[in-house]
Chains A and B, each alone.
Chain A
């Protein structure tokens, strides 16, 4: 148990719809990252939030957006869903990264999104 909770666990949407996924960070963590994991692949970095602002983004289009709240919980929003968005979406919390890096990420169990 990492203390990071995600909801919902499973979700089915149709192409073109919008979806919001939620994450509650582990106590004491101020940074949240979101990853997308397609079947049979490793997780791909979407973006990172600190102090309610996005401070790092992977190679994902603007229709992927997020929010971080004062209590460090977070949302991932995806607009205009496409079939290729079907994946496991993982939220990870951590302490704010230092220059030397190496911060351990604590992952939630993920939300399995299916786009039909």
Chain B
């Protein structure tokens, strides 16, 4: 089952604009990660935010987390054509004995037009 729901499902912007993607989840989490996927290939880790953090930055990426609303947002500033990809949020659940799984949302498909 999908834990996260990204919003919007698809986003099209001009190069240089900012892109904001949102993620909502259902149960309590330890951490939330964002991943990027190009053209149905492997996912690449972008950024991690822990449940006791509210905001993190990495280069042109800014992630916020609101655990009271069970939501997160990913902001990509000054977008480039190379940012065109699908973006997924993933929440984790540690179930003991080292069992650890990520639960992904359905993703936001971002298109950056040159």
Contacts and interface: CB of A to CB of B under 8 A. Distances in A.
B106 interface: yes
Contacts of B98: 31, 50, 55-56, 96-97
State the majority secondary structure of interface residues on A: loop
A99 B42 contact: no
Interface residues of B, number: 32
A55 B97 contact: yes
A101 B29 CA distance: 10
A96 to B, nearest CB: 6
A37 B99 CA distance: 20
Interface in A1-35: 2, 4, 31, 33, 35
A109 B41 contact: yes
Contacts of A105: 35, 43, 45, 102
Contacts of A110: 40-42
A42 B88 contact: yes
B31 interface: yes
Interface in A57-75: 58-59
B99 A104 contact: no
B2 interface: yes
B31 to A, nearest CB: 4
Interface in B49-85: 50
A101 B99 CA distance: 10
Interface string A99-116: 111111111111010000
Contact of A42 (B42, B92, B93, B105): B105
9 A-B pairs with least C-beta separation? A56-B99, A42-B104, A97-B100, A107-B42, A102-B31, A45-B101, A101-B30, A109-B42, A107-B43
Given A44-B104, A107-B43, 4 more contacts: A41-B106, A102-B31, A105-B35, A105-B102
11 contacts: A43-B43, A55-B97, A55-B98, A56-B101, A58-B101, A59-B1, A100-B94, A101-B92, A101-B94, A105-B102, A112-B40
